[in-house]
Amino acid sequence: MSESRVSDRAATSSANAQRPRGARLPLALRGLLRDLRASDVRALFLALMLAVAATTMIGFFLDRLDRGLNRQASQLLGGDLVLESSNPLDPRFAEAFRAAGLEMSPQLGMVSMASHGDSFVLSSLKAVSPGYPLAGRVELESDASGEEAQAPGASSRAEIPPPGEAWIVPRLAMALSAEVGDTLTVGRKQLTISGLITREPDQQGGFSEFSPRLMFNMEDLDATGLIQPGSRMEYRLLAAGDPAAVQQARDAIAPLLASADNAEVRLKDVREDRPRLGRSLERADKYLSLAGLVAVLLAGVAVAMSTRRYVERHLDSAALWRCFGASQRQLSRLFAAQLGWLALLASTGGAVLGLLGQMGLVALLERFLPLELPAPGPLPLALGILTALAVLVGFAGPMLLRLRQVSALKVLRRELAPLPASAWVVVAIASLVFGALMWLYSGDLMLAAGLLVGGIIALGLLMVVGQLLLSLMLKVVARMRGQGGWSRPIRLAGGMLARRRGASLGQLVAFAVTFAAMALIALVRGDLITRWQAQIPTNAPNHFAINIQPGEQQAFGEQLTAMVDEQAGDSQSELYPMVRGRITALKGESLLGRTQQRLQAAQSDQPAAGGMQEGRSDEGDGEQQGVPQRELNLTWHRDLPDHNRLSAGEWAPISDFADADSETRSRLAAAQGVPVSMEEELAERMGLVIGDSLSFTIGSETVKAQVVNLRHVDWDSFLPNFYVIFPPGALESFAHSYMTAFHLEDERKLAPLVRYYPSVSLINIDAILTRVQELIAQVSRAVELILGLVLLAGASVLYAALVASRPAREHEGALYKVFGAGQGLLARLQAAEFVLLGLLSGLLAAMLAEGAAVGLYSGWLGLPVVLHPWLWVLLPLAGGVLIGGLGFWLSREVRRQPPMAGLRALQ
């Protein structure tokens, strides 16, 4: 009966082998469905599905989150692009925006007095036109309460103040003792207060907005009579559109921005104008991409381990196919088709899980996300399927070649099994595939190449160190004496690991990579979130006081200090003088000439990028790129500010200049220039080093200066920071004011200061701080949830490794039973083996994780390097517990089955 079945099956198989390729696919699918009952195929399927699920989930979520956050971040500017200038904008800018199909909204800002009754307050006026804002919405107090806080007889809620009306911030209403419905005067025009602004899309939070906001319609601008010769105005043009149109507009206006006529014009977008917010989003993207790559790597390791067992189990069936006349090509096609169906099913399941996972991720974060995420796009799905195919080809392909090399004689002589694929060949192909995936996800070829080379070197070191650890472990356990308790099982377990040194070393390295990857993701997650939260200290200043006049700074400072001191723990900085000046010369060369040369080079047909690093002329062009095309806030200070630190040079020349008499100062200034301290990043962008000269134009005068030191400035401190610090005695003759920063919870306490010092402008940056904190909290929660995927991927590696080694363990367990070992000894033996393997893996993982963290922190993520000594204790303990527990549980059937079944396990 048995021979008849074999003959029938052989006949069917031989017939199927002769069918064309398309007819073999159902056979491959049937074989795959039958193989799904095997633990190695289940592990292979789960690993592939997990790789696709991790890739698509992270891809979908990152794609939606990135587009949503960028859209929300654009609301901070009121559009996608903003042009600013202190002079009327060149009409060609609007023409370029119009040609690109962008929406536009011009506005005009200025500082002027607003009055109500006997109250006068210096206000930051903004005249807006229809269409404003292009992104976001002006929020009024009436929006939160659901009531219409408008003047009697006013129409329904408008997007901008209607003609004859004004919207103001509550602080201005408090200063003027006015409320909704009252009338205030701006210039020669009376406006009715019809709303109180609670949030403004393009609230800048910088020093360009010195006073509380007053927003009115552009149609009322002429009636105010504020535009006069010599008036200081800020002209802005907001533009918005799809990304392609925005990029087209940027390219079109680039020559205009480079011209000398438009030197005052500044182009802003969210990434360039919000450097701190941009770095946070950039680090979040990098972390999530790193987590996805780690999940794919771990899934690939699980695929490789599962494929090895899959190949060993199919050697007999491949030999039968050869007996029935199948060629190597037909065998390759059959098993490739079978694994192709596996990849298709796993990709489908993984894509569905990824889509559902990102929906669950969004649902969990929905109440924390003050934005509506766009619909998922198709690109992450395509990347997920491509990842599955790449992982299958890279990690399983080399070992599948063993099946096509099997001989038909293996049916009769089992020792004729083909040699397994070289481990180095498997590692090389898998490394190349993983390097390609890193390049695909990171978009940085040099980074991918560096990580790939570093990973290969690290793998070689792991193999060497793993060998040393195994040898050391064997020497330690061999010295254990005694037959009772755990001494004998530990010695036997050490002997088992020694007899399977190759397999033990492979499992040791695989487990170490798994634990190191999971530890690395957890470490980066913790340090990244800590870094984000540290960007905004608990008592960070939430107010800036600007335009404090020279005769008022002492009295103002005393009153402000008294207010702040009433709230324990709150902070206040000292008062800093402030002068506006523009850099007009570098190293004795006027910047105007360089600007004209740059414009001519941009209009030339000859490519200029090839030699930018060679020659003095090209270096000058490169330096010009980093010169701020606007006025800077300059200050003077005798000592180094506490929240700054020197990175190069000495502070002594500045303090010496401050302590010198007027004659000595004049002689030093005329000979080599006034000594100044430069912020290090600005100096690097401009190509300045210690000893270089530069000139500032302040008003109608020019001040020559010399760089004597460079400072590191913490721009995330929310304290007054300056690019350039002069010594006392250099700028006092110029018109100046003072500014300070402080933290005050109760804003109502500022009312006396507003009334006593009407020229002082108080800027509340709580709204900006709140937005940054919201974004950090959102991405931090996403980071925590993504960590779960990496842990699942690590669990799949442990499962696949233990499943792959199960036949050998069954055979050894049967031998021990034949020689009289009871279940108790066998249980202790298996527990000791897995715990030893886990301890060694954890120790190796600690070394790998610490080294990888140093490289990632100092390079890719840009975080300060932090060592983690506790890893060397926690990871070995975690490895012993996890591998020991999981291995002991998966080996329960080995302890129960009869010896004969175990002896047949390797046959």
Higher pLDDT residue, 734 or 788? 734
Give the model's confidence band at 444: pLDDT under 50 very low, under 70 low, under 90 confident, else very high.
low
The owner of tokens 């929300």 is 72
Q: What is residue 698's predicted lDDT score, i.e. its pLDDT?
A: 86
Q: How far, in Å, CA of 754 to CA of 128, rounded?
A: 26
Q: Is residue 334 situated within a structural domain?
A: yes
- Of 241, 273, 305, the residue at which a domain comes to its end is 273
Whether residues 17 and 132 share a domain: the answer is no
| pLDDT tops 90 at residue 17 | no
Percent of the chain with pLDDT over 90: 12
Query: Which residue type sits at 359?
Result: M
Q: What is residue 859's predicted lDDT score, i.e. its pLDDT?
A: 66
Q: What is residue 642's predicted lDDT score, i.e. its pLDDT?
A: 83
Whether residues 517 and 657 share a domain: the answer is no
Whether residues 443 and 581 share a domain: the answer is no
Angle CA 133–137–143, to nearest 5? 145
Residue range 225-234: mean pLDDT, rounded: 70
Q: Give the range among 686-695, 725-734, 820-829 with minimum mean pLDDT.
A: 820-829
Tell me the residue range of the domain where 713 lies: 573-600+617-741
| pLDDT tops 60 at residue 97 | yes
pLDDT tens digits for range 183-229 = 998 888 999 999 999 878 776 544 334 468 899 999 999 898 887 65
Run of H or E including 568: none
Q: Is residue 756 situated within a structural domain?
A: no
Q: What is residue 176's predicted lDDT score, i.e. its pLDDT?
A: 87
Among positive and negative, which fits the CA dihedral 59, 60, 61, 65?
A: positive
376-385, 405-414, 743-752: which is most confident = 376-385
| pLDDT tops 50 at residue 3 | no
Whether residues 179 and 261 share a domain: the answer is yes
| pLDDT tops 60 at residue 148 | no
Whether residues 452 and 433 share a domain: the answer is yes
Q: Give the range among 62-66, 322-326, 587-591, 649-653 with minimum mean pLDDT.
A: 62-66
Residue range 381-398: mean pLDDT, rounded: 78
| pLDDT tops 70 at residue 231 | no
- Of 242, 273, 304, the residue at which a domain comes to its end is 273
Q: Is residue 266 situated within a structural domain?
A: yes
Residue partners of 742: CB distance under 8 A and separation at least 6: 541, 543, 545, 560, 564, 570, 571, 572, 573
Whether residues 796 and 718 share a domain: the answer is no
- Among the listed residues 476, 509, 511, the one whose alpha carbon sits nearest the alpha carbon of residue 493: 476
44-58, 84-98, 315-329, 542-556: which is most confident = 84-98
Mean pLDDT in the chain?
74
Residue partners of 115: CB distance under 8 A and separation at least 6: 121, 176, 184, 185
Residue range 534-546: mean pLDDT, rounded: 72
* 3-state SS class at 226: coil
pTM for the whole thing? Answer: 0.54
Higher pLDDT residue, 783 or 704? 704
- Could you give the number of structural domains in the chain? 3
Question: DSSP 3-state helix, strand, coil percentages of the chain (rounded to 5)?
Answer: 60, 15, 25
> DSSP string of 456-504?
HHHHHHHHHHHHHHHHHHHHHHHT---SSTTHHHHHHHHHHHHHTHHHH
Residue partners of 114: CB distance under 8 A and separation at least 6: 120, 121, 123, 125, 168, 172, 176, 184, 185, 186, 214
Q: Is residue 542 situated within a structural domain?
A: no
Q: What is residue 217's predicted lDDT score, i.e. its pLDDT?
A: 94
pLDDT tens digits for range 794-823 = 667 667 766 766 776 676 767 776 666 667
Q: What is residue 190's predicted lDDT score, i.e. its pLDDT?
A: 93
Whether residues 105 and 192 share a domain: the answer is yes
| Cβ–Cβ under 8 Å, residues 191 and 183 | yes
Give the model's confidence band at 297: pLDDT under 50 very low, under 70 low, under 90 confident, else very high.
confident
pLDDT tens digits for range 350-361 = 888 888 878 876
Q: What is residue 776's predicted lDDT score, i.e. its pLDDT?
A: 59
Q: Is residue 765 situated within a structural domain?
A: no
Whether residues 587 and 516 share a domain: the answer is no
Q: Is residue 642 situated within a structural domain?
A: yes
Q: Is residue 388 situated within a structural domain?
A: yes
Give the model's confidence band at 592: pLDDT under 50 very low, under 70 low, under 90 confident, else very high.
low
Whether residues 404 and 504 share a domain: the answer is yes
Give the HSE-up count for residue 601: Cα atoms under 13 Å, Cβ half-sphere.
18
Whether residues 292 and 247 share a domain: the answer is no
Percent of the chain with pLDDT over 70: 68
Angle CA 287–289–293, to nearest 5? 115
Q: How far, in Å, CA of 601 to CA of 335, rounded?
A: 60
| Cβ–Cβ under 8 Å, residues 275 and 715 | yes
Residue partners of 801: CB distance under 8 A and separation at least 6: 302, 305, 507, 510, 511
Q: What is residue 426's predicted lDDT score, i.e. its pLDDT?
A: 64
- The β-bridge partners of 572 are 742
Q: What is residue 282's predicted lDDT score, i.e. its pLDDT?
A: 59
Q: Is residue 681 situated within a structural domain?
A: yes
Q: Give the range among 315-324, 417-426, 849-858, 864-873 with minimum mean pLDDT.
A: 417-426
Residue range 621-649: mean pLDDT, rounded: 76
Whether residues 820 and 782 share a domain: the answer is yes
Higher pLDDT residue, 29 or 742? 742
Q: How far, in Å, CA of 239 to CA of 216, rounded?
A: 20
* CA dihedral of residues 385, 387, 393, 399 (deg, nearest 10): -120
- Of 252, 273, 294, the residue at which a domain comes to its end is 273
| pLDDT tops 50 at residue 4 | no
Whether residues 579 and 443 share a domain: the answer is no
